[in-house]
Structure 1
Amino acid sequence: MSLSHREGQSPADDITDDWLFLSSDSARPEVVEVRREDQETEDRGKLRSKLVSAWNSVKYGWTLKQKSKFSKSSPVIMLGKSYELKDEGEREHFRRTFVSLLWLTYRRGFPPLGGCSLTTDSGWGCVLRTGQMLLAQGLLLHLMPPGWTWSVSHHVFKDDMDLESRPADCGQTFQKGSNKRGRKLSLGSLLDRPTETTHRKVVSWLADHPSAPFGIHQLVELGKSSGKKAGDWYGPSIVAHILQKAVAAFADLQNLAVYVAQDCTIYKDNVKRLCERPPPQSWKSVIILVPVRLGGQELNPAYVNCVQKLLTLKCCIGIIGGKPKHSLFFVGFQDNNLLYLDPHYCQPTVDITKKNFPLESFHCKYPRKMAVSRMDPSCTIGFYANGQKDFESLCTAVGEALSTSAETYPMFIFAEGHSQEEEQSHAPTNLTYIQRKTKCKRVDTSNSLDEFVLL
């Protein structure tokens, strides 16, 4: 997303300007036969979509072959688990676990979004995509057995990381030795496994099709109530509320709820009211989303340690950053670098209506890192609790992690009681608040478009 984007003008308009030198006559070969006007319009739309997608892939610097270097001397922490890369078995476990994360990126060629002719989200849908990844991690924890990894990935993906070590070890791949483990299962038998069926179902829920409950079409439709439309930039706070609505509207997930923190506060009674079910049924599982702003234009250094602490918790399902130029899905760290998944790679749309549609493009084989100091302060943090006891444990663990920023102010807080407005009737806005004892200070957030007020 270009930093020159102006409020009130959609990113799609900016992108189109980049291609004004490509007229319809110069972009397409001359034809002698007369074609129908609607066919010509469709062809121009497809061509423009491909050109815009290609331009954005270059503009945002996404390189398919790019790899990050990882050190063997320190562990990698990812979503509550620690991996010692000097141990070959743990390297393989980390590789399989990372590849099993669902990766949602820009797509092109999907059915037109409601109310417009856009068939790609390239250049404007990055926060929606990271929001999908955050939700996907919660769905996998909710529906899959503990420790699940994608079995097919073991046979599909090869070398995916560079390890910093002595020369003799350079170039060692994560799958070395792993192919020695017994007889390989056939692809057909893997597809027949119940867990693989569920995995495929979750992917289909997030696909780029109007029928997908958490797909780009449904998220854009739900965003209209917040004043957003296809082509607009969606902030992490708005996306949190959109995800809450999407899950609430989906009949197949009656035992899962999404709670969005208000004013950087998780009200326990609100969560209880949302998750309680009449006897003999137990609590619903809950995904908790906390929109926060951790500084002005840059991440406040006082929160760096706290961000890392949260990613060490098993209840944490990741953090989405909201920078307009690029939103990322943070899942772990090594030393002072964050591990992330990047949505800024435009891929062709996968037809989920076909039986055994390919899954490879929904999984990333290249872990990437960036300095934690470069993380944008506008973000949404996600957590998952399987029931009431898990929620109580979550409150304790997260509270302890938040105390690491006690020298400043907590990123967010837990509060007994409930908010002034009912959870179900709370209307999402572009305002997120952080409690402060100092004077009210408005922060310039022109780079992230979401308006945050620091109190």
Structure 2
Amino acid sequence: MLNATLTYDTLRFGEFEEFPETAEPVWILGRHFSALTEKDEILSDVSSRLWFTYRKNFQPIGGTGPTSDTGWGCMLRCGQMILAEALVCRHLGRDWRWHRGQRQREEYVSILSAFIDKKDCYYSIHQIAQMGVGEGKSIGQWYGPNTVAQVLKKLSIFDSWSRLAVHVAMDNTVVIEEINRVPHRPVSERLCMPWLDYAGAACSEPEPDPQRGLNGCLEGACAMAVEEMVLWKPLVLLIPLRLGLSDINEAYMETLKQCFMLPQALGVIGGKPNSAHYFIGFVGEELIYLDPHTTQVAVEPSHDGQVPDDTYHCQHPPCRMNIRELDPSIAVGFFCQTEEDFDDWCMRIRKMSCSREALPMFELVDSQPSHYASADVLNLTPDFSDSDRLERFFDSEDEEFEILSL
């Protein structure tokens, strides 16, 4: 773990272990590399991921709260990183690359701006910390993977630009029926509000005109918006898991590594007890990760809206740790831009589940098993209120949890 007081210059010029010269394949978020012939490409891919670390000297959280998250915000920062990766895939594409010093695309600036350490940014440390109060976590308290997943789900609702559907799969089970309910909005719901556009804003047409398209709106913006709403919303799927007692069960190691090989991979948030990392891939028996345990000064956007972004990209060789050192409490993430992506993900997961070489980490089912509590009972909505009870299954600091059966 990096010392929390390291400066950015230390990060740039300090001593970091070079990437290994190995014939073992390197996998980073669904992309395959060779460490022997593509080292520059590996480093470019890693440095293109948004890297969020501890910050200091930002606005007090809640007006009177902490001005730094050093020592307690590592899982919050990892949550930011896994969601930022989803936004990059959503707006820029997985193969987008960051180049230092170049003026960046408008979409990139919008993504990064959503995570700046200010109270009015969608996914700022301020928003995550304050939303966590509703999950039973006081400001300044360490989060577990499940808590940060639930908070991100709530915050994503206010992000009208990205229009993500964030689903947190509980009880080690991904229910396709529940996911299909989340990204869709029935046509009938839209048709009963003839004077609203897709964002809920009043349509400018004074009365219906059958010659001008659906509900009297102009063919174009409103009609296109209706189509987008009826069809698939880009899906962020987060699955909190417990893969052992005090240590990760070896039976799950190959399955975990295979998750990084899927084209829909967003990575894994987890780490060691009370020390979180954002895992983005693996080589051999080592996991590749971004480490948030470095304190940097909070950044302010310039007068023209540009964000000084050097400190938001890891420009040294990525950190690595043996997979056996991983704390068993994790959350694994996936991103499906289209419904076809989700269907492909389901096919790949089912194929992985049939493998005799690795034990499945979670179950994929078409509909909710009858012996499970209903979603209404658990209230698995953006106003989720039962997380305290469920949190004990997934947070490392609790001694009571559910273990995946062998």
Residue of structure 2 equivalent to 1:280: 227
1:197–1:446 CA distance, 2 compared to 1 (3 A) = closer
After superposition, the Cα gap between the structure-2 partners of 1:265 and 1:426, relative to the gap in structure 1 and judged at 3 Å, is farther
Amino acid at match of 1:388: E
Q: For residues 148-194 of structure 1, give each alpha carbon's deviation from its aligned partner in whole angstroms, at most 9, with x where no partner exists.
A: 111x23xxxxxxxxxxxxxxxxxxxxxxxxxxxxxxxxx5xx42x6x
Q: Once the two structures are superposed, what CA deviation does each residue of 1:227-262 show, in whole Å capped at 9, x if it has no partner?
A: 1121101111000000000101222223x1100002
Note if contact 1:322-1:448 (Cα within 8 Å) is conserved in structure 2: no
Shift of 1:322: 5.1
Correspondence 1:209-248 to 2 at 5 A:
209-248=118-157
The Cα of 1:396 is off from its aligned counterpart by 1.3
- Deviation, structure 1 residue 225: 0.7
Matches within 5 A, 1:26-425: 56-57=4-5, 64-87=14-37, 90-114=38-62, 116-150=64-98, 152-153=99-100, 190-191=102-103, 196-254=105-163, 256-277=164-185, 278=187, 280-281=227-228, 282-321=231-270, 323-352=272-301, 354-355=303-304, 356-366=306-316, 367-404=318-355, 410-418=360-368, 420-422=374-376, 423-424=380-381
1:212–1:325 distance in 2 versus 1, CA, 3 Å? same
Shift of 1:98: 1.0
Change (3 A) 1:280 1:447: closer
One-letter identity of the residue aligned with 2:333 = G
Q: 2:115 and 2:157 mapped to 1: Cα distance?
A: 15
After TM superposition, give the deviation of residue 358 of structure 1 in Å.
1.2
Residue type of the partner of 2:375? Answer: E
1:427 corresponds to 2:385 = yes
Residue type of the partner of 1:236? Answer: P
Equivalents in 2 of 1:250, 1:344: separation in Å? 27
For structure 1, list consecutive stretches of 5 or more residues without a partner in the other structure: 2-53, 154-186, 434-441
Q: TM-score, normalised by structure 2?
A: 0.79
CA shift, 1:221, in A, is 1.3
> RMSD across aligned C-alpha pairs, in angstroms?
2.6
Distance, in Å, in 1 between the alignment partners of 2:361 and 2:389 is: 16
Whole-angstrom CA distance in 2 between matches of 1:447 and 1:244: 21
Please give the alpha-carbon distance, in whole angstroms, between the structure 1 residues aligned to 2:78 and 2:58.
18
Q: CA deviation at 1:413?
A: 0.9
Do the aligned partners of 1:207 and 1:215 also contact (CA within 8 Å) in 2?
Answer: yes
Conserved in 1, the CA contact under 8 Å of 2:256 and 2:361? no
What's the offset of the Cα at 1:383? 0.2
- SS of the residue corresponding to residue 75 of structure 2 reads helix
SS in 2 for 1:393: helix
1:44 is matched with none
Q: Give the 3 Å change call, closer, same or farther, for CA 402–363 of structure 1 in structure 2.
A: farther
Answer with 381-390 or 397-406: which moved more.
Answer: 397-406
- Taking the aligned partners of 1:102 and 1:377, their CA distance within structure 2 comes to 25
- TM-score using structure 1 length: 0.71
Q: Deviations over 1:261-310 (max 9, x none)?
A: 02111111111111113363321110000000000111111111111111
Distance 1:240 1:109 in 2: 26
Q: CA deviation at 1:71?
A: 1.9
Q: CA offset at residue 216 of structure 1?
A: 0.4
> Are the aligned partners of 2:237 and 2:335 in contact in 1 as well (CA < 8 Å)?
yes
What is the distance in 2 between the residues matched to 1:307 and 1:136? 21
CA distance in 1: counterparts of 2:386 and 2:272, whole angstroms: 20
CA separation in 2, counterparts of 1:79 and 1:129? 18
| CA 1:71–1:448: 2 relative to 1, 3 Å | farther
User: Relative to 1, partners in 2 of residues 1:384 and 1:400: Cα closer, same or farther, differing over 3 Å?
Assistant: same
Q: 1:149, 1:346 → 2: CA distance?
A: 25
What is the total number of aligned residue pairs between the two structures? Answer: 348
**Amino acid paired to 2:320:** K
Unaligned segments of structure 2, at least 5 residues = 188-225
Q: Taking every aligned residue pair, what percent have the same amino acid on both sides?
A: 30
Between the aligned partners of 1:450 and 1:286, the Cα distance in structure 2 is 32
Task: Select the structure with the greater relative contact order (CA < 8 A; seq sep ≥ 6).
Answer: 2
> After superposition, what is the alpha-carbon deviation per residue over 1:371-407, rounded to whole angstroms, capped at 9, x for unaligned?
0111110000000001211111111112323444777
Q: How far apart in 2 are the matches of 1:432 and 1:354?
A: 44
Tell me the SS of whatever aligns to 1:271: helix
Structure 2 partner of 1:18: none
Larger Rg: 1
* Structure 1 residues 211 and 407, CA gap change in structure 2 (3 angstroms): closer
Q: How far apart, CA to CA, are the structure 2 residues paired with 1:411 and 1:377? A: 11
Preserved CA contact (<8 Å) 2:254 2:357: no
Give how far 1:115 is off: 5.8
Q: Which amino acid in structure 2 is aligned with residue 233 of structure 1?
A: W
**Structure-1 separation of matches of 2:27 and 2:94:** 17
